Amino acid sequence: MTAPAGIVWLASFPKSGNTWFRIFLANLAAGENGPADINNLDERGGIASSRHEFEAATMLDSGLLSHDDIDGLRPHVYERIASEAKEQRWIKVHDAYTALPDGEPMLGRSARAAIYLVRDPRDVAVSLSHHNNTDIDGAIAMMNDSSSAFSRKSKGLPQQLRQKLLGWSGHAASWIDQTDVPVHVVRYEALRADPMTHFSAALAFAERPAAADDIACAIRHADFSELQRQESEKGFAERQSRSAPFFRSGRVGGWQDVLSTEQVARIEEAHAPLMHRLGYSMLGR
């Protein structure tokens, strides 16, 4: 039995375990020959916001286009990827699930399935501040801003296309409530506590066959200690410049030692409905 060809979105708000999941997949593909090189993961599916892939597919200079022009062309890029796929492609995506002015989904309608990773927003705030090289208040402001986006600066040409995030709640709701693509929600905390069960369930949802021994091997090779070792020795190409190490502890609940009472309240007040819905207990309620 082989996995059906096509796109599987590996979607998440930034700093919610997406890269860890991709590295697990890379190690699953590598088998016992791993651990996979953390700087050689693109062949496992790629990143939806890749400017290089957009330009290769459209034969256009993206620097001459507006963000909205690019968004309007992106569905065609994914339609092409899906139609040409000879195997299953798990593609990382941080974009919220949004619609174009004509009502069509910006990510197109060609994907077979989506795995949506969600993480306690209080831990996301801590990790995002390190990733963006900002203070925690700045990270919280970004998560609470329904117009937030990655890579939208007008100067320079980032490697990534603009990605609308819609804030933490808006992002989660956009993926969980959309009805175009079958979606399987995975809590980062559950994945850390029992990776065998939850990686296996995600693979089963995507109809990606894998033996239990192979999954266990991939989990070992994707352990955070291994990722930290590789990053310390040769860096990580996807890390933002000047930021802290990309692979930190991956700890669950670390926010309790870092966030102030006021910072926790700002997050909980902004995201209470989604936190309740996704099973996150709150201090203030």
Q: How would you write the pLDDT of the chain (285 residues) with one tens digit per residue?
A: 788 899 999 999 999 999 899 989 989 988 877 788 888 775 557 899 999 999 999 999 999 999 999 999 999 999 999 999 999 999 999 999 999 999 999 999 999 999 999 999 999 999 999 888 889 999 999 999 999 999 887 666 778 999 999 999 999 999 999 999 999 999 999 999 999 999 999 999 999 999 999 999 999 988 888 888 888 887 777 766 555 677 766 789 999 999 999 999 999 999 999 999 999 998 765
User: Beta 183-187 vs 113-118: how paired, if at all?
Assistant: parallel
At 32 the pLDDT is: 75
Burial class (CB in 10 A: 0-12, 13-18, 19+), 101: exposed
At 226 the pLDDT is: 86
> For residue 240, what are its two tokens?
């933002």
Q: Model's pTM, two decimal places?
A: 0.92
C-alpha–C-alpha distance, residues 64 and 87, integer Å: 33
At 154 the pLDDT is: 62
At 240 the pLDDT is: 62
